[in-house]
Amino acid sequence: MNESKHHEVIVIGAGVSGIYQIKRLVDLEVDAILLEGDEDLGGTWYRNRYPGCRFDSESYTYGYSWSKELLDEWHWKERFSSQPENLKYLNFVADKFDLRRHMSFGAHVDSMTWNEDERIWELDLASGDRYTARFVVTGIGVLSAPTLPSYDGMNDFAGESFHTFWWPKEPVQLEGRRVGVMGTGATGIQVIAEIADKVDELIVFQRRPNWSTPLNNSPISEEEMAEIRTRYDEIFANCAVTNGGFEHLPDRRGFHNVTPEERKALWDKLYSTPGFAILGQNFPEIYFDEDANREMSNYIAERIRGRVKDPAVAEKLIPKDHGFATQRLPLETHYYEAYNRDNVRLIDLSETPVERITKDGIQTTAEHHDLDVIVYATGFDAMTGAWDRMNIRGVGGVTLGEKWRDGPSTYFGLMTHGFPNLLMVAGPQSVSGSSNFPRAIEGGVGWVTRLLEHVRSLGITRVEPTSEAEKAWHETVVDVHERLLARRSRGWFTGYNSNVAGHDDGTVRYIAYWGGRPRYAEYITAEADDGYPGVEFATS
C-alpha cells in the first residue's frame, strides 16, 4: 500500500471549474492540489474532440471574467469558438497563472471515503496512489459521464466506433467512408452538420428528433475584439441579471398582449440572431404557457419544413412528443440542409429500431446498413453520473450513489448532508446545468472559497449542511421545476437516460435549479452573509 499524501484541500478535475478553483486557493496560499484523471487539463474541452464541437454560448460570455489582464490578452476568433481553440484558451489560462505545478495528471480518483475520527477524506486513485485531505472540492463536470447504448453485437463491429466524448486525439479518416451517427442531441447535430459534405455516405440513426435553431456563427476580427474588450464590464453585468447567464434580455411585452403578426415578427428576427437569443429574447410564456409554446413550436416546425426538401424527411425531423425549448435546445449550422444531400439518409428508429450491431454495420428491423465508422452521440448520465461513478462513501459508509438513487438532494448544489467537507462547485441542483456554465461556476467557486476562508479563520474541521436546510432547498428546486413545461420532457433536463438503469423509467430526477442565476446568487450570498444558517460547523 502506498503511503498517502496529505493536503488541506484537494480539488478534483482540471476543467473550467477546477482551473478557477485551484487559482483561488493558490492565491490564498492554501495547501492544495488538483487531481485530474486525464493526461492533461481541459475537462469537457479536452475530451470532446468530435468534428463540429464548439460553444453555443457567445465566446466572450464564456471566458473567465476574473482577470482584466486575461480579458485584455485573449482574442476570441469566432463568436462561437470551436473546441481546439477553447482547449488552447484553458491552457493559456493555466500557463499564464502558472497553475500546472499545482495539478497532477493521470490521477483518476476511483473512490473517496470519509474518516469521521480524523475528519478527513481518504482518496484512492486508479494508480494505487492514496491522498488524504481535510476538504475536497469537486469540479468533475455536469456532462462528463458518457453513456453508450447496449445493443447486441457492439463489440463485433470491425470498423472504428466511439462515443463522441472519447473521440480519438489522432485524426479520424472520414473522407470516402460510410459513417453512421446515432443520436440527434446537441452533439449529434453538430457532428452531422459538420461531416455531411465530407463523408462518402452518412446514415443518421434517430430515435427522437430535437428542436434545433441556427447558431448564426461569425468570425471576430481584431477590431471587433478590441471593441468587445471595452464592453466586458457591461457584458458580464448583463449576464449577471439574466436567468441563463447570457446577454439576451427577454421580451416583456407579454405573449398575449401582442398580435400573432407581432409575435412572428419577433421570431423571424430571433431565428437569424446569434446564439440562444431565440430562448433568452423570446416571450417568457413559451416556457410555461401551453398555448404560447404550441404557437412557437408550430413556427419552428414551419422553418424546418422550409429548409428540408423532402416533406417526409422534414416531418421526421420535427418533434411531436415535446414542445420547443422544453429540452436542451441544440444550435445548428446547416443541419437541416444536410438532409437535402444525396449522400445523407435519415433512419427513424422509432419505426425501424436497431436489432443489433454487426461486424459490418447496423441491422435494423427493416434492413442492414453497411458502415465503416459508427459514431455514438448518445449523451451522458447528466449531473449525477460523475459522482455515482466515483464511489464516494460518507458518514456511516453510505455511498452518494445510494443517497441519490432516486435523484440528487443537495444544499444549493454546493454540499450534501451526510458527506461533510465535500464541496461541489457545479453540483446537481445548482445553476451549473441550467445556465452559461462559466458564469454559474464562478459563483460556485466564489462561494466555496469564501466558506473555506471562514473555516480557516475559525479553525473549523467539519462542515455539513443540515438535513432540514437540504430538504428546504430540494423543495425549492422541485417547486420551480414543476412550473415549467420542461417538467414533462424526456431529455437529460429531467435526469432521463435510457442507457442507465434506474434513470430510464420516466421518474423525474430533479437535477437542476431552474429559478435562474440571479435568484440563485441571492440565495447563496444570503447564506454566507447570514453566517451559514443551513450549515453545521465543528472545531476539533
User: Minimal distance in Å, beta carbon 331 to ligand NAP?
Assistant: 7
Q: Is residue 446 within the footprint of ligand NAP (CB under 6 A)? A: no
Q: Please give the full DSSP string across 102-162, using - where no structure is assigned.
A: GEESS--EEEEEEETTTTEEEEEETTS-EEEEEEEEE---SS-SB-----TTGGG--SEEE
CB neighbours of 40 closer than 8 A, spacing ≥ 6?
14, 46, 105
CA angle 63, 66, 71 (to 5 degrees): 55
User: Minimal distance in Å, beta carbon 507 to ligand NAP?
Assistant: 15
- Give the nearer residue to ligand NAP in terms of CB position, either 36 or 381: 381
- Give the nearer residue to ligand NAP in terms of CB position, either 54 or 517: 54
Q: Is residue 499 within the footprint of ligand NAP (CB under 6 A)? A: yes
User: Minimal distance in Å, beta carbon 20 to ligand NAP?
Assistant: 18
- Give the nearer residue to ligand NAP in terms of CB position, either 42 or 185: 185
What are residue 269's phi and psi, to 5 degrees? -65, -45
User: Minimal distance in Å, beta carbon 470 to ligand NAP?
Assistant: 26
CA–CA dist 478, 212 (Å, integer): 27
- Give the nearer residue to ligand NAP in terms of CB position, either 190 or 430: 190
Q: Is residue 328 within the footprint of ligand NAP (CB under 6 A)? A: yes
Q: Is residue 183 within the footprint of ligand NAP (CB under 6 A)? A: yes
Q: Is residue 207 within the footprint of ligand NAP (CB under 6 A)? A: yes
CB neighbours of 358 closer than 8 A, spacing ≥ 6?
153, 156, 157, 368
- Give the nearer residue to ligand NAP in terms of CB position, either 362 or 414: 362
Q: Would you tell me the crossing angle of helices 437-458 and 232-240 to the nearest 10 degrees?
A: 80
Using CB under 6 A, which of 498, 502, 528, 537 touches ligand NAP? 498
Is residue 492 a contact partner of residue 333, using CB atoms and an 8 Å limit?
A: no
Using CB under 6 A, which of 61, 65, 184, 410 touches ligand NAP? 184
Residues that bind ligand NAP (rule: CB under 6 A) add up to a total of 25
- Give the nearer residue to ligand NAP in terms of CB position, either 18 or 52: 52
Q: Is residue 378 within the footprint of ligand NAP (CB under 6 A)? A: yes
Residues 53-92 that bind ligand NAP (CB under 6 A): 54-56
Q: Which of 93, 112, 111, 113 is nearest to 103 (CA)?
A: 93
Is residue 248 a contact partner of residue 104, using CB atoms and an 8 Å limit?
A: no
Strand arrangement, sheet containing 160-163: 160-163, 373-376, 178-182, 201-206, 344-348
Q: What is the number of residues in the chain?
A: 540
> What residues make contact with ligand NAP under the rule CB under 6 A?
54-56, 143, 149, 182-188, 190, 207-208, 328, 349, 377-380, 491-492, 498-499
